[in-house]
Chains A and B, each alone.
Chain A
């Protein structure tokens, strides 16, 4: 399946994300999920970024938290709401919110 996951939290959602598999997987970091795209805890990037997936982060939720494009890991594409709509309609079939 082509699965898109809205990752909306930093610490509490990783178990389920880790377990789910899909032929095509996309993680969209929103709300506090944006910290996966930006924070290096003890110098290490979020292990979610090691998954075989495409990564996106919502620009508005970065800016809300005082984060800038320069904070975002190179593996993650910065998107706006319009881009999110295009992703869920054109790139993925099923969407879950964690």
Chain B
């Protein structure tokens, strides 16, 4: 009986493919995984945006208006709302010139969690501690 950590590495930019969306939605499904597990078992996703994946985290996305699909911003907000830990690589944000005040925040929805901007060395530790790694 234990809970395992699974590292979700999101490295693709948004919208050209659905890859990064699927990374976030698969992580959110941890909420109901206990339906298929024994008591005391569980999965804790650790979602890490690295490389071009950090470009998913820019706020103000208009995917619903333009494509009629739920934005990655909405999925990320939902992930924060269900208390997932989401990490964004500090070096990659800087490389692409994205300031932290442009990042998605779910405070308006009542989320306690925020996107956590961390150096890659912290993300490496998270990956080290994860039992399995999924790259989206």
Contacts and interface: CB of A to CB of B under 8 A. Distances in A.
The answer on direct contact between A and B (beta carbons under 8 Å) is yes
Interface stretch (A16-24, A25-33, A42-50, A70-78): A16-24
Contacts of B128: 1
Contacts of B133: 3, 94-96
Given A15-B51, A96-B9, A20 B124 contact: yes
A96 B120 contact: no
B132 A94 contact: yes
A80 to B, nearest CB: 24
Interface residues of B, number: 14
Size category of the A interface is: 10 to 19
A25 to B, nearest CB: 12
A20 B124 CA distance: 7
A interface SS class: mixed
Contacts of B124: 20-21
A81 interface: no
B9 A19 contact: no
Main secondary structure of the interface of B (DSSP, over half): mixed
Interface in A44-98: 94-98
B32 to A, nearest CB: 25
Contacts of A97: 135
A95 B127 CA distance: 11
B130 interface: yes
B55 interface: no
Contacts of A15: 51
A20 B131 CA distance: 16
B135 A94 contact: no
Contacts of B20: none
Contacts of B50: 16, 19
Closest 4 CB pairs of A and B: A96-B135, A96-B133, A1-B128, A94-B133
26 contacts: A1-B127, A1-B128, A3-B133, A15-B51, A16-B9, A16-B11, A16-B50, A16-B51, A16-B135, A19-B50, A19-B120, A20-B124, A20-B127, A21-B124, A94-B127, A94-B130, A94-B131, A94-B132, A94-B133, A95-B133, A96-B9, A96-B133, A96-B134, A96-B135, A97-B135, A98-B135
